[in-house]
Chain A
Amino acid sequence: MSVIKELWGNFIDALEGLGAISRFFVRMLVATPGAFLRFDLIVQQIFNSGALSLVIIMLAGLFVGMVLGLQGFTLLQRFGSEESLGIAAAIGLLKELGPVITALLFAGRAGTALASELGLMRATDQLSAMEMMAVDPIKRVVVPRFLGGVIAMPLLAGIFSMIGLYGAQLIGVQIMGVDAGSFWSQMRAGVSFTDINEGLVKSLIFGIACSLIAVYEGYYAVPTAAGVGRATTRTVVTSAVVILFFDYLLTAAFL
């Protein structure tokens, strides 16, 4: 009985959490049009979330592309169709690996930074001080950070896929000797706009989810050292699960 009771309790807690984060999301959406009037604040956050994540995204993109080139080549060679490496790598990167891996890295790099920054602002009374100065912290602090993340994520995913393609080409064409002409021409012929669209929609939704989770966890962090630590951890864990779950849903929806 107690197991069922506990499971029920957990279920109710999860529902409450979902309700709270939804309300928070709506509150941010209401403040969003006003936030665009102060675009400088958003640009600064695009820099913090996007530009500062560039190095890790580019490095990861290069290595993932190289692995894709190597694995793809050995697999396709078995069927004598190594010329299709270009399209295989492009589809894999644009539709799946680009958005998903970028989002996972984004949650680890930018999401944790957002959550701990907001959590520490809460712990050091900076958010309360703003409220006392009649400045709404949601409008001034949270929404620009959220929008910065939402805008940065698809850009990062695009860069990841581009660098990844270069990595696949580096291994496949330069080292394994796939014909450069067929690598690129098959890719051009085989990749349609819907494939790019799928990647774009995925990365946008992952961006919204990751940024929302990060600012929510940070904003409501328990104002202690342990509380901020927990908020940071939860940001990464929740983001990772949500990204992979949404990835399945979106993939199914696009079929």
Chain B
Amino acid sequence: MNPPSPIIDIRGLGYSVSGRPIFANFDMQILPGRVTAIMGPSGTGKTTLLRLITGQVRALSGSIEVAGEDMRTLKRDGLYALRRRMGMLFQNGALLTDLSVFENVAFPLREHTNLPERLIRQLVLIKLQAVGLRGAADLMPAELSGGMSRRVALARAIVMDPEILIYDEPFVGLDPISMGVILRLIRRLNDTLGLTTIVVSHDVLEISSVADQVFLLSGGKVVASGTPQEMRENPTEIVRQFVGGLADGPVPFHYPAKDYYGELMARGEGL
């Protein structure tokens, strides 16, 4: 049996920000129906990769295909049509602060559909129940904890029944309980709704417990990929440093600087 064709297919991607290359000849294939984790040290372009996949920025070279659509040629209308098939969870939830929890989840429905109020109510309550926050429907975003905000944002991301669900650093700043809740939701939503899930994170242990496939990015390249088990057994130095959380290694502890002794001893200008 042939493996399923990738739902996200990136080939030869090139992208740079103000002359600094972020990706050069970058390849990545993400298969449908799976939880795919994208890990890597901070500043390796993980969030930029998400922005490229979701069409928030355009690739300078190479191709990105998402659900059969070529992101290079997609016009604004096509891009918006594609985005209706995607859900994205931002790092801080990005809830609309002037709307209640209920209205936040109802927002995409109200903007894109003409459903009767009763049906909107039912859909919103079903999604809020799925993330365990039906009781918080009347609260305002300012009254929620960090973990709750992200769960509301998750309910909002799935309210249009997307095919692809993207999480950008979903665990940052969460307590262990909230983290466990989000982890369970990632897996459960992926399996019950038949989604393709992409999680960008650097919480190695946590994400390894739910991911089917892991990509490790460093220096604008995929340096290793495989199942979490394969990643744990990978002997490459960079993988060992990242998975083991070692301070120094191929990713240096020190930001590039001038010679230490020389700089300490130098008579600095203005000193």
Contact = CB atoms under 8 A, between A and B. Distances in A.
B84 A134 contact: yes
A126 B88 CA distance: 12
A218 to B, nearest CB: 14
B83 A124 contact: no
Contact of B56 (A121, A124, A131, A134): A131
Interface residues of A, number: 14
A128 interface: yes
B94 A124 contact: yes
B86 interface: yes
A131 B88 CA distance: 10
Contact of A135 (B87, B92, B108): B108
Interface residues on B, range: 20 to 34
A203 B176 CA distance: 56
A13 interface: no
B91 interface: yes
B90 interface: yes
B111 A133 contact: yes
- Among B54, B86, B90, B91, max chain A CB count under 10 A is at B90
A134 B107 CA distance: 11
Contacts of A134: 80-81, 83-84, 108, 111-112
Given A125-B90, A140-B111, A132 B83 contact: yes
A108 to B, nearest CB: 22
Nearest to A129: B94
Given A128-B56, A129-B88, A135 B94 contact: no
A134 B108 CA distance: 8
A129 B83 contact: no
A128 B56 CA distance: 8
Interface string B23-56: 0000000000000000000000000000000101
B181 interface: no
Q: Which 5 A-B pairs have the closest CB atoms?
A: A125-B94, A129-B94, A134-B80, A134-B83, A132-B88
30 contacts: A124-B94, A125-B90, A125-B91, A125-B92, A125-B94, A126-B95, A126-B96, A128-B56, A128-B90, A128-B94, A129-B94, A129-B95, A129-B96, A129-B153, A131-B56, A132-B54, A132-B56, A132-B87, A132-B90, A133-B83, A133-B107, A133-B108, A133-B156, A133-B160, A134-B84, A134-B108, A135-B108, A135-B112, A136-B80, A140-B111
